[in-house]
Amino acid sequence: MSQSFTPARTRGFLRATAAAVALSSVLLTTGCGSSDESGGDAKATAAAPTGFPVTIDNCGVRTTYDTPPSRVVTIHQHPAELMLALGLKDRMVGTAFPDSAVLPELKKDYEAIPELAEREPSFEKILDAEPEFVYGGYGSAFAENEGRSRKAFADAGIDTHLNREYCGKKRVTMKDTYDEIRTIGKIFGVPDRAGTLVADLEDRVGKAAAKVEGDPEAAVFVYDSGDKTAFTAGGKSLGTELIRLAGGENVFADLDDVFGDVSWEQVVERRPEVIAIYDYAGAGSVEQKKKFLLSQPALADVPAVRNKRFVVLPLTATLVGIRSAYAVEDLARGLHPESFR
């Protein structure tokens, strides 16, 4: 967003009565949790928790948090998984738009949180959950034409945060993932947890990259979707960096965008050795995508197609969130299987 505003710190909604607003103000004072990182119900005091107030600049919106938010709705899966990985299940009152299988270690907690909608919920549906904070994964979480603008939430007394991947057109890197985790940790008063999680993910990436260090770079084509043309990951995408860390090179790294359409003739010309298939709901199954690629006569001599070398990645794993570190390892195994034997 181009404009900057600071949402009010209140749980009241525009449609609430004055009595309800007064009650919610009392709850905010007494129920936001302790200043430690246990997420428990230690007695609140009149003083701000340690480390607060916190002011965050996010995609042109400046927000000051006097206390950690205690009622959160996440829209899209990767913000939900990030919250859960930080041990913040007790703050979550709703999720929406799952687009792939949840990480096994988070599955039980994820399923315990009410799902508000299969896709982006309506503004009214989100209000029904009475959140203090809405965390969106894609820009569509706050689609103005669907009544979910960040200003609309601010006017209703609800703070918002958009995954930094959708703040602008700059190139997305793993640093964005680590910075996003640290920012969420700061907002929720759990910076130590965030630091530990970042260190764990950095270690995971480092070990995978070390396994393939010195191996010849594999030429990789990302196939997201498309039949007349191919929708693929460009040079500004996090996917390009994941491929690089995994010992490969995105054959369309020169595409000056996060995603874009390319012709099949271009794919043939660049002769990828491996095709990374992005898997997500609504774009056809992985098997359908493989069948399409293998059935195209024009692609028959492309090395990746001829040798049936495919690596499947959940789309969630290619976004700014905890999955990206896992994706590096999965890609590295797919590109250089001999290094993991």
For the beta carbon of residue 328, count every other beta carbon within 10 angstroms: 26
Asked if 106 and 220 sit in the same domain, the reply is no
Q: Does 16 score more than 50 pLDDT? A: no
Between 48 and 164, name the one with better pLDDT.
164
Number of structural domains the chain divides into = 2
Tell me what the mean pLDDT of segment 155-176 comes to: 93
Q: Does 2 score more than 90 pLDDT? A: no
- Spatial CB neighbours of 338, under 8 Å, sequence gap ≥ 6: none
Q: Does 9 score more than 70 pLDDT? A: no
Task: Classify residue 8: in a domain, yes or no.
Answer: no
Q: What is the pLDDT of residue 38?
A: 45
Name the burial class of residue 290, with classes exposed (0-12), middle (13-18) and buried (19+) by CB atoms within 10 angstroms of its CB.
middle
Query: Residue 17 — very low, low, confident or very high, per pLDDT cuts 50/70/90?
Result: very low
Task: Classify residue 177: in a domain, yes or no.
Answer: no
Task: Classify residue 90: in a domain, yes or no.
Answer: yes
Report pLDDT digits (tens) over 238-261.
999 999 999 999 999 999 998 999
Q: What is the pLDDT of residue 47?
A: 64
φ, ψ of residue 201 in degrees (nearest 5): -70, -40
Domain that holds residue 147: 18-162
Lowest mean pLDDT of 12-16, 167-171, 191-195, 321-325, name the range: 12-16
Q: What is the pLDDT of residue 168?
A: 80
Please say whether the beta carbons of 112 and 89 come within 8 A. yes
Task: Classify residue 327: in a domain, yes or no.
Answer: yes
Task: Classify residue 230: in a domain, yes or no.
Answer: yes
Query: Residue 19 — very low, low, confident or very high, per pLDDT cuts 50/70/90?
Result: very low
Question: What is the 3 state secondary structure string of the chain?
Answer: CCCCCCCCCCCCCCCCCHHHHHHHHHHHHHCCCCCCCCCCCCCCCCCCCCCCCEEEEECCEEEEECCCCCCEEEECHHHHHHHHHCCCHHHEEEEECCCCCCCHHHHHHHHCCCEEECCCCCHHHHHHCCCCEEEECCHHHHCHHHCCCHHHHHHCCCEEEECHHHCCCCCCCHHHHHHHHHHHHHHCCCHHHHHHHHHHHHHHHHHHHHHHCCCCCEEEEEECECCCCEEEECCCCHHHHHHHHCCEEECCCCCCCCEEEECHHHHHHHCCCEEEEEECCCCCCHHHHHHHHHHCHHHCCCHHHHCCCEEEEEHHHHCCCCHHHHHHHHHHHHHCHHHHC
Tell me what the mean pLDDT of segment 205-215 comes to: 96
Asked if 46 and 122 sit in the same domain, the reply is yes
Tell me if the pTM is above 0.95.
no
Asked if 86 and 218 sit in the same domain, the reply is no
Tell me what the mean pLDDT of segment 289-306 comes to: 97
Q: Does 213 score more than 70 pLDDT? A: yes
Q: What percent of the chain has pLDDT above 70?
A: 86
Asked if 139 and 227 sit in the same domain, the reply is no
Q: List the one residue out of 178, 147, 145, 149 whose CA is nearest residue 164.
A: 178
Task: Classify residue 26: in a domain, yes or no.
Answer: yes
Asked if 142 and 72 sit in the same domain, the reply is yes
Average pLDDT, the chain: 88
Asked if 151 and 268 sit in the same domain, the reply is no
Asked if 34 and 153 sit in the same domain, the reply is yes
Lowest mean pLDDT of 3-7, 59-63, 151-155, name the range: 3-7
Q: What is the pLDDT of residue 44?
A: 40
Between 166 and 266, name the one with better pLDDT.
266
Task: Classify residue 198: in a domain, yes or no.
Answer: no
Which domain-ending residue is among 162, 177, 202? Answer: 162
Report pLDDT digits (tens) over 79-97.
999 999 999 999 999 999 9
Lowest mean pLDDT of 28-37, 47-56, 294-303, 329-338, name the range: 28-37
Asked if 54 and 146 sit in the same domain, the reply is yes
Asked if 144 and 219 sit in the same domain, the reply is no
Please say whether the beta carbons of 125 and 102 come within 8 A. no
Report pLDDT digits (tens) over 31-73.
343 344 444 444 344 467 888 999 999 999 999 999 999 999 9
Query: Residue 223's domain is classified under what CATH number?
Result: 3.40.50.1980
